[in-house]
């Protein structure tokens, strides 16, 4: 059980979880856990070592031994800066393949718990409120329509100067979300104790304000 206050933000790809979670963490002075980055790092580590993503035991071993460092916005793997490399859609797909393997999820559990340090934590992912921090004080399920999410990712990639095709992005997000929803362990879904935040027609500022207002209510409850 986590002794520090935890806010969890789960939801599908490109719904704005990371952006909103980081803003909420900054507003409260809390730590931030991007749990998806751990699955992305695991997929990248496997690819670089020639381990196939579906080899559960070999990938779980890699996940347990990940030499990963989060240094502000930068992410290092084996001492190399992989901040950009883990963000590709290819590694996103690899992340969702390795994330469906129970032994890999178990291997990453302790590392995620270690982020829960005073004064508090905001954690984003798929199973933050259901499996990793089930006793979190506030659980949010953040979503947006499939079209809005594909457009957001498209805009994000163009802004980063990367080639991006809207139809291909929409197809990638759809297949990744379908895999995340269908898997047996820690599937993506809105659990009964999570508050729904649909940001299809909502900007980042408004979404952050809503989470902060729920947090205020949770503290006074
Ligand atoms: O972490 P996740 O994949 O859920 O999404 P993200 O990377 O935080 O957000 C994807 C993009 O959508 C970012 O460029 C955000 O600024 C943008 N966004 C938005 O336009 N409106 C929102 N309400 C939330 C995010
Ligand atoms: O940024 P985006 O929302 O597209 O993905 P992400 O949060 O970086 O997660 C990449 C993949 O890791 C997801 O598609 C999930 O398969 C997996 N993941 C997971 O299974 N559990 C989590 N807590 C976080 C990510």
ipTM of the modeled complex: 0.97
Pocket lining: 190 vs ligand 1, CB cutoff 6 Å: no
Pocket lining: 210 vs ligand 1, CB cutoff 6 Å: no
Q: Tell me which of 162 and 209 has the higher pLDDT.
A: 209
> Are 72 and 32 in contact, with CB atoms under 8 Å apart?
no
**Lowest pLDDT segment from 21-35, 88-102, 118-132:** 88-102
pLDDT, the chain, mean: 95
Ligand 1 site-directed mutation target among 32, 96, 152, most atoms within 8 Å of CB: 152
Within the chain, how many helices (H) and strands (E) appear? 8, 8
Pocket lining: 17 vs ligand 1, CB cutoff 6 Å: yes
**Lowest pLDDT segment from 84-88, 98-102, 112-116:** 84-88
pLDDT at 221 over 90: no
Whole-prediction pTM value? 0.96
For ligand 2, which residues put their CB under 6 angstroms from it? 13-14, 35-36, 39-40, 92, 95-96, 99, 125-128, 176, 180
Rounded mean pLDDT, 153-168: 91
Band (pLDDT 50/70/90 cuts) for residue 26 is very high
What DSSP state is assigned to residue 203? -
Rounded mean pLDDT, 67-75: 92
Rounded mean pLDDT, 118-139: 97
Å from CA of 93 to ligand 2 middle: 9
């Amino acid at each position: 059980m986590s002794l520090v206050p935890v806010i969890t933000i789960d939801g599908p790809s490109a719904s704005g979880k990371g952006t909103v979670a980081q803003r909420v963490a900054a507003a409260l002075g809390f730590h931030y856990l991007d749990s998806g980055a751990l699955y992305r790092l695991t997929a990248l580590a496997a690819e670089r070592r020639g381990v196939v993503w579906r080899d559960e035991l070999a990938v779980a071993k890699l996940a347990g031994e990940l030499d990963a460092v989060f240094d502000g916005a930068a992410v290092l793997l084996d001492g190399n800066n992989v901040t950009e490399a883990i963000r590709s859609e290819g590694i996103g797909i690899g992340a969702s393949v390795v994330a469906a393997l129970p032994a890999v999820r178990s291997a990453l559990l302790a590392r995620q718990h270690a982020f829960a340090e005073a004064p508090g934590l905001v954690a984003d992912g798929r199973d933050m409120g259901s499996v990793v921090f089930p006793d979190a004080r506030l659980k949010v399920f953040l979503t947006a329509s499939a079209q809005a999410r594909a457009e957001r990712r498209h805009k994000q990639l163009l802004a980063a100067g990367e080639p991006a095709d809207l139809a291909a992005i929409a197809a990638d997000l759809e297949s990744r979300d379908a895999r995340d929803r269908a898997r047996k362990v820690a599937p993506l879904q809105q659990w009964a104790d999570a508050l729904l935040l649909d940001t299809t027609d909502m900007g980042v500022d408004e979404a952050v304000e809503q989470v902060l207002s729920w947090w205020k209510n949770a503290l006074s409850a």
